[in-house]
Chain A
Amino acid sequence: MKLDDLLNGVVFLVLGCAIVGYAQTLPVMPQIEYGPGFLPSIVGVGMALAGLALIVARLWRNIGAVEGWMAFNGNGARGVLGIGVFLSAIVFYTLTANTLGFLIVAPILLFGIVYWFERRWKLALGVGVVGTLLLHTFFYQIMKAPLPWGLLIDYSGALTW
């Protein structure tokens, strides 16, 4: 999603000012001139100035102009949906992994992404099963990362190889 640099400039000008404003709310330490708000103030001022520079460059020399204020560098609606596939896959995992468990959520996630982009359901199914087993073996069994069992908690012994 490419925005016109005028918009980008405004975003960072406002964000910079907000950071400076927030820094003022941080407590001042007695007898110490440069407290916790010192670096945030500098960063905020710098960000606001850099945002202003973007605005000036866009207005004076037309640098970073985008027709219609924003442009999407992708395959139209299908491209937007493509981003949505990854976005929803990650959100889906966070919402369901603890209740359903990794071994149930991961194959669904892999199947969904592979099928969307490759349109071959047998391939998607294969990747779903093999990919899940590989990642589970690596992270859970070798690296000892506590991937959630969810519904399969009672079978965790039998499913650990």
Chain B
Amino acid sequence: MVVFESLALLMEPKTLGVILGCAAYGLIVGAIPGFTATMAVALLVPMTYFLDPVPALAGIVTLAAMAIFAGDIPGALLRMPGTPASAAYANESYQMAKRGEAETALGVGLLASAFGGVFGALMLIFAAPFLAEISLSFSSFEYFWLACLGLVAAIAASNSTPAKGAISLFIGLTIGMVGLDPVMGQQRFTFGNINLVGGLAFIPVLIGLFAVSEAFRFGAKPVARPEILPISPKSLFTGVFSHVRRLKWPILRGSGIGSIVGAIPGAGADIAAYISYAVARRFSPKKDAFGTGTVDGIAPATAANNAAVGGALIPATVFGIPGDSLTAVIIGVLYMKGLNPGPTVFLMQPTLLYAIFIAFLIANIVMVPFGFGAIVLFRRILSAPPGVVMALVTLACIVGAFAVENTTFAIFVMLAAGLLGFYLEENEFPLAPVILGIVLGPILESTFLASLAKSQGSFVEFFSRPIAGSLGAITIATILVPLLYALLIRRK
């Protein structure tokens, strides 16, 4: 029985220790405004390099689940969402906290998050193998279009202009091309530097883009923290259950929306939360209360962003196509651990994969007591002097980049990526397409060239297979429809 073997893998003391450590780490980093869940994962990746696949990936998915919830806490008490995923309803919960109802906002949010997370995990456990079975018939044509769709959707989903999203993507693709080309083994963009022949290492680039850039931003303008609104942990669960019971259908709907939106390549937890919030408002009998601070808006949206993490893991594990920057990192780690994502991993290494899925399910359940602890300790977490946190983050970045590659060159790569990330964010270029470009670029190139070789140079086959044709049509529509829509609006 795969499930029992997977459970046995998870019950090893080392794995349990890693999961608990990552849960605490995710809650702390997620609760600090300005630190994103991706940054938390980026800093963790070099540590997972030295771990076995199951504890490494179980730790990362646990961290992702916790960081998304923890972002709600500063959203309510400081009006500063800890991660972008909490932005949709940060004002709603802040208004409640201002009225002295922070306990209700966070208590309902915690239970709804856990429910959404469990829903997303179950979707992942049941839908992923089903999809994997279908995708066994996929050839390079389908994978080419899936990679294209992931890249195009990443631009469409970024909250910047399409031109800036595209530039980010092309930067990522260029970074991914450094080294030997996947078909001929020809050196590209190496400029005679022997360190570049093996390509730019993923981990130093990742740490630079998401963590070192954060340090530069902090250096330019240390974040001033506003007054924390009061909260009484004792009454955290008073009246919370009646709200959850009343809102069970909106929470379920939010979870459904979250896991579907999360599974769309390119869309992520933040978009899922916005859509779920808008849908909840549309169908709520208390429409007028939205915006003034109501749990009716918070619960479905926070359920959606947690469900989206599980949803995003579906295309990530089945096709190797990331849903957002967080899953792009997870895919990078899957490759690093030899668990190359794709339908065959469900056949070859089901025990390992299910252990990771079950860890994600468990993480969403233990989120309730751990999240409770994070809410209680929030004031203490924020009392850590930011200069100290940033100094430790910087040293961890340096050591992390060095430890994985074992060369000083990796630290220079990290520094360059940090400066690039800082420049991009300051100029409103989104970072997610960069990381997607790095992960998907080599897949795109090798599937494209393999497909052309199979079809003897004919492009017709890219559209003549039913699934490939549909995926191609969706990809092209994702590019053309917004362009045509913008043209039509301007005509009017």
The answer to whether the Cβ of B350 comes within 8 Å of any Cβ in the partner chain is no
Q: Is the CB of A143 within 8 A of B184?
A: no
Residues of chain A within 8 A (CB-CB) of B162 are 53
The answer to whether the Cβ of B398 comes within 8 Å of any Cβ in the partner chain is yes
The answer to whether the Cβ of B201 comes within 8 Å of any Cβ in the partner chain is no
Nearest residue, chain A, Cβ from B168? A50
Complex Cα–Cα for A13 and B25 (A): 42
Q: Is the CB of A84 within 8 A of B219?
A: yes
Q: Is the CB of B188 within 8 A of A40?
A: yes
Complex Cα–Cα for A35 and B390 (A): 45
Residues of chain B within 8 A (CB-CB) of A145 are 50, 399, 402-403, 406
B399 shortest CB reach to chain A, Å: 5
Q: Is the CB of A123 within 8 A of B385?
A: yes
Q: Is the CB of B394 within 8 A of A90?
A: yes
The answer to whether the Cβ of A80 comes within 8 Å of any Cβ in the partner chain is yes
The answer to whether the Cβ of B135 comes within 8 Å of any Cβ in the partner chain is no
Q: Is the CB of A36 within 8 A of B183?
A: yes
Q: Is the CB of B186 within 8 A of A36?
A: yes
Within 8 Å by CB of B177, from A43, A53, A57, A74, lies A43
Q: Is the CB of B445 within 8 A of A39?
A: yes
The answer to whether the Cβ of B164 comes within 8 Å of any Cβ in the partner chain is yes
Q: Is the CB of B423 within 8 A of A1?
A: yes
> How many residues of chain A get a CB closer than 8 Å to chain B's CBs?
72
A138 shortest CB reach to chain B, Å: 8
Q: List A49-86 residues whose CB lies under 8 Å from chain B.
A: 50-51, 53-54, 57, 63-64, 72-75, 79-86
B48 shortest CB reach to chain A, Å: 10
Q: Is the CB of A73 within 8 A of B220?
A: yes
Nearest residue, chain A, Cβ from B47? A143
Residues of chain B within 8 A (CB-CB) of A109 are 391, 394-395
Within 8 Å by CB of A47, from B167, B181, B391, B441, lies B167
Chain B, interface size category, equals 35 or more
Among B221, B395, B408, B418, the most chain A Cβ lie within 10 Å of the Cβ of: B395
Q: Which of B210-218, B320-328, B368-376 contacts A (4 or more CB under 8 A)?
A: B210-218
Q: B366-408 interface mask toward A, CB cutoff 8 Å, 1 = contact, 0 = none? A: 0000000000000000000111101110111011101100101
The answer to whether the Cβ of A106 comes within 8 Å of any Cβ in the partner chain is yes
The answer to whether the Cβ of B138 comes within 8 Å of any Cβ in the partner chain is no
Q: Is the CB of B457 within 8 A of A54?
A: no
The answer to whether the Cβ of B161 comes within 8 Å of any Cβ in the partner chain is yes
Q: Is the CB of B216 within 8 A of A90?
A: no
Residues of chain A within 8 A (CB-CB) of B415 are 87, 90-91
Complex Cα–Cα for A90 and B397 (A): 9
Q: Is the CB of A75 within 8 A of B186?
A: no
Nearest residue, chain A, Cβ from B386? A117
Within 8 Å by CB of A139, from B221, B394, B399, B427, lies B399
Residues of chain B within 8 A (CB-CB) of A151 are none
Complex Cα–Cα for A85 and B218 (A): 11
Q: Is the CB of B387 within 8 A of A83?
A: no
The answer to whether the Cβ of B197 comes within 8 Å of any Cβ in the partner chain is no
**Known interface pairs A39-B445, A85-B219, A110-B391. Does A93 touch B411 (Cβ–Cβ under 8 Å)?**
yes
Q: Is the CB of B403 within 8 A of A90?
A: no
Q: Is the CB of A86 within 8 A of B445?
A: no
**Known interface pairs A19-B174, A47-B167, A75-B220. Does A113 touch B399 (Cβ–Cβ under 8 Å)?**
no
**Known interface pairs A39-B173, A83-B220. Does A50 touch B387 (Cβ–Cβ under 8 Å)?**
no
The answer to whether the Cβ of B412 comes within 8 Å of any Cβ in the partner chain is yes
Residues of chain A within 8 A (CB-CB) of B441 are 39
Residues of chain B within 8 A (CB-CB) of A106 are 395
The answer to whether the Cβ of B290 comes within 8 Å of any Cβ in the partner chain is no
The answer to whether the Cβ of B166 comes within 8 Å of any Cβ in the partner chain is yes
Complex Cα–Cα for A112 and B222 (A): 16
Complex Cα–Cα for A73 and B184 (A): 45
Q: B431-473 interface mask toward A, CB cutoff 8 Å, 1 = contact, 0 = none? A: 0000000000100110011001000010000000000000000
Complex Cα–Cα for A53 and B155 (A): 15
Complex Cα–Cα for A93 and B414 (A): 13
Q: Is the CB of A144 within 8 A of B164?
A: no
Ordered by A's residue number, 12 sampled pairs between the chains whose C-beta atoms are within 8 Å are: A35-B186, A39-B181, A43-B174, A54-B164, A73-B220, A74-B219, A79-B220, A80-B220, A90-B418, A109-B391, A110-B395, A131-B395
Interface, chain B (partner A; CB < 8 A): 47, 50, 161-164, 166-167, 170-171, 173-174, 177, 181, 183-184, 186, 188-189, 212, 215-216, 218-222, 385-388, 390-392, 394-396, 398-400, 402-403, 406, 408, 411-412, 414-415, 418, 422-423, 426-428, 441, 444-445, 448-449, 452, 457
Instruction: Identify 6 new A-B residue pairs, CB closer than 8 A, beyond the known A40-B177, A47-B170, A79-B220.
Output: A43-B170, A74-B220, A83-B220, A86-B215, A90-B411, A117-B387
